[in-house]
Structure 1
Amino acid sequence: MTAAQQPNLAIVAHGKDDVRIEELAEPAPAPDEAVVAVRFGGVCGSDLHYWRHGAAGESILREPMVLGHEVVGEVLHAAADGSGPAAGTRVAVHPATPIDDGSAPFPADSPNLSPAGTYLGSAARMPHTAGAFARRVALPSRMLRTLPDGLDLRTAALVEPAAVAWHGVGRAGDVAGKRVLVVGAGPIGALAVAVAVHHGAAEVIATDLHDLPREVAAKVGAARTIDARDEAAIAAVHADVVIESSGTVPGLASAIRGVARGGTVVMLGLQRSGEVPVLASLAITRELTLVGSFRFNDEIDDVIAALADGSLAVDPVITHVAPVADALEAFATAGDASASSKVLIDLQEAS
């Protein structure tokens, strides 16, 4: 069967420990929306949180929601208003919709900080913003980015998380010629390693608790890796820039210990809600710069170009690909940081 003939299976979260594979109705696109046959979807930490906890941070499931925002595929039907790519075009998806509702100011050049903005597969608002883990979805044509010839869809499935990493490394400024430490070598951390190498870092070092993430980090360009429990080795790095991508309290402590005096720590990993302990005295007396990083803006276009010309090497980050029928097993695999990096779901492959 063709992509348009198969049942429109989707991965839908209903609550804690309740994710189901369901058949959806065919998408009914608005005039500015294209119908996309999604090929690959990358399992993100937020997807795992909705599955395991029924919430991702303070975004709580209140109704069934299709998961997924890291997707690539092919346009089946172009937008009726003539906007966006033509049918048959292979595309990646920028999942954000910035909205300025006047509720809080944000920089005009940082739409990722729009407080009312939405993101595919997010329960932050009611009604929830449906994700794109489905065989066929209707998406605004402005979200679609045409993929260059020669860039295969499997690699392109990393475009969205790589854009998150690209934005995070960019928050440190120019890393060319600098020593960069990446704390936490999960999928985003490994991609941050690859981006730092692409940007000309003199040396990139990565830490993690597990062997497999450290091995992946080395494959994408880390000059050396450190067991995350080795505090002395981390403190001896004296990195110019640290990308904290673990999103944990110990990881943030390691980042502050591992950065050189006067250096910069980018908090890329999302910490838990509420108060988080931090080594403030070290940050103050070493005159460190601590900056946040949240999602991305137009960096997705730079990522696509770098993947297409081969200057951004990310393929080792993909460790598993599973058919949609095995989505729950794929989620379990993605949730085991010792056994996987990025797990992809093939929405067009049934079994």
Structure 2
Amino acid sequence: MTTTSAKAEIPATMRAAVLHGPERLTLEERPVPTPGPGEVLVRVEAVGTCGSDVHYYRHGRIGDFVVREPLVLGHEAAGTVVACGPGVDPRRTGRRVAIEPGTPCGACGECRAGRYNLCPGMRFLATPPVDGAFCEYLAVHQDFAHDVPDSLSTEDAALLEPLSVAVWACRKARVAPGDRVLITGAGPIGLVAARTARAFGAREVLVTDVVPHRLELARAAGASALDVSRTPLPDAGYTPTVLLECSGVPAVTGEAIRTVGRAGRVVLIGMGGDEIPLPLSRVQNHELELTGTFRYAHTWPTAIALVESGAVRLDSLVSHRYGLAEAEHALTVAAKDATAVKAVIHPQR
């Protein structure tokens, strides 16, 4: 098997932060992968830490996905193509790319219908047993290594992944000019959802949370902000046409649904409990549309365009930066620092 690469620049081994069980993360040497047919080898230069990474680190599982063997975390990644596998245009070498972390089978009914995010054979980075991007090099399918313009920083390119979650949710909610949007939870997804809803034309966006620092970031994103520890949502007098639920807290979800106006749309984004109390009379009497959302499909071109145009800014999300040897700090900083929003790991440091 041959590859096109700048071979002198690619070492035989690389560092990887490997999870061996709850709160057991070690820095190890592993072979640099060889890109297979249709794959590119990416030198990973920035990886955002996600709540799922933190959950795997703390608990060793998320629902049915259990860490049964050593696992490399991280799925919000970007870097530079340094080698091309068979069948890949060698001119891709040297290009900066954002990595879409899920590789579907491409042949099932969901994939053929364009819903590849629902592919039952999806291989998703940092989802057991698939290794992720807390490492120095990563081989990925060429179709899911998206070229990014020079105007995007490497951190911007990595954070196109959470932005894609917001783009997909706004599409599912059909956010359009004139909408009044309610976003519950001012974490990274809630904050990018606020900017995305604005970019989609929403005339008003209200973000709720209880952390003052995050509410300030919501205001900086062009949204109104409500501290629900001081003013309960039902007392705010806000009747949205769209609810983007990002908290994952069942009680918050039920309360927020009760505020949605007639013929409103509700999209559940946050991952919380397996069940929520559903205010069924509100859903029925107001003919609300309610749907879940799972990852994304066909979102990277839109996400890139939103950042390139300046309609969405991602740099304000980054609160902490670490080298690969400090990956454990990146996974625990949110529990120690109230100002933490998004920690980014730079594996080449």
What TM-score do the two structures reach when normalised by structure 1? 0.91
Identity of aligned residues (%): 35
- Unaligned ranges ≥5, structure 2: 1-7
Residue 339 of structure 1 and its aligned partner are, at CA, apart by: 2.6
Distance between the aligned counterparts of 1:140 and 1:61, measured in 2? Answer: 24
1:78 correspondence with 2:84: yes
Residue 337 of structure 1 and its aligned partner are, at CA, apart by: 7.9
Distance between the aligned counterparts of 1:67 and 1:85, measured in 2? Answer: 30
5 Å-filtered alignment, 1:91-130, equals 91-99=97-105, 108-123=113-128, 128-130=129-131
8 Å Cα contact 2:103/2:141 also seen in 1: no
8 Å Cα contact 2:73/2:133 also seen in 1: yes
Residue 7 of structure 1 and its aligned partner are, at CA, apart by: 6.0
Residue 277 of structure 1 and its aligned partner are, at CA, apart by: 2.1
Distance 1:55 1:70, change over 3 A: same
Distance between the aligned counterparts of 2:208 and 2:9, measured in 1? Answer: 41
1:34 correspondence with 2:35: no
Range with greater deviation from structure 2 (34-43 or 230-239): 230-239
Distance 1:6 1:327, change over 3 A: farther
- Unaligned ranges ≥5, structure 1: none
Q: Deviations over 1:282-312 (max 9, x none)?
A: 2223322111111111111110122112122
8 Å Cα contact 1:180/1:204 also seen in 2: yes
**Map of 1:322 onto structure 2:** 322
**Map of 1:263 onto structure 2:** 264
**Map of 2:307 onto structure 1:** 307
Q: Deviations over 1:251-295 (max 9, x none)?
A: 21232133223211111112323x332222322233221111111
8 Å Cα contact 2:12/2:32 also seen in 1: no
Distance 1:16 1:197, change over 3 A: same
Which residue identity is paired with 1:67? L
Distance 1:320 1:84, change over 3 A: farther
**Map of 1:208 onto structure 2:** 209
Distance between the aligned counterparts of 2:38 and 2:309, measured in 1? Answer: 31
Pick one of 51, 55, 61 that aligns with 2:57. Answer: 51
8 Å Cα contact 1:32/1:83 also seen in 2: no
Distance 1:232 1:48, change over 3 A: closer
Which residue identity is paired with 2:121? A
8 Å Cα contact 1:8/1:23 also seen in 2: yes
Distance 1:232 1:308, change over 3 A: closer
**Map of 1:248 onto structure 2:** 249
Residue 60 of structure 1 and its aligned partner are, at CA, apart by: 0.6
1:140 correspondence with 2:123: no
8 Å Cα contact 1:262/1:288 also seen in 2: yes
Q: Deviations over 1:69-102 (max 9, x none)?
A: 1000001112232247621110001111223676
8 Å Cα contact 1:33/1:139 also seen in 2: yes
Distance 1:174 1:225, change over 3 A: closer
8 Å Cα contact 2:73/2:126 also seen in 1: yes
1:66 correspondence with 2:78: no
Distance 1:185 1:68, change over 3 A: same
8 Å Cα contact 1:242/1:266 also seen in 2: yes
Residue 234 of structure 1 and its aligned partner are, at CA, apart by: 5.9
Distance between the aligned counterparts of 1:6 and 1:259, measured in 2? Answer: 56
Distance between the aligned counterparts of 2:163 and 2:9, measured in 1? Answer: 27
Give 3-state SS (helix, strand or coil) of 2:272's partner.
coil
8 Å Cα contact 2:248/2:272 also seen in 1: yes
**Map of 1:218 onto structure 2:** 219
Moved over 4 A (4+): 104-107, 232-235
Give 3-state SS (helix, strand or coil) of 1:151's partner.
coil
**Map of 2:4 onto structure 1:** none
Residue 106 of structure 1 and its aligned partner are, at CA, apart by: 7.5
Residue 68 of structure 1 and its aligned partner are, at CA, apart by: 1.1
Q: Deviations over 1:170-217 (max 9, x none)?
A: 111132111111100100010100100111110111011211221111
8 Å Cα contact 2:251/2:277 also seen in 1: no
Range with greater deviation from structure 2 (43-52 or 308-317): 308-317
Distance 1:26 1:324, change over 3 A: same
Which residue identity is paired with 2:319? T
Distance 1:84 1:243, change over 3 A: farther
Distance 1:284 1:78, change over 3 A: same
Give 3-state SS (helix, strand or coil) of 1:9's partner.
strand
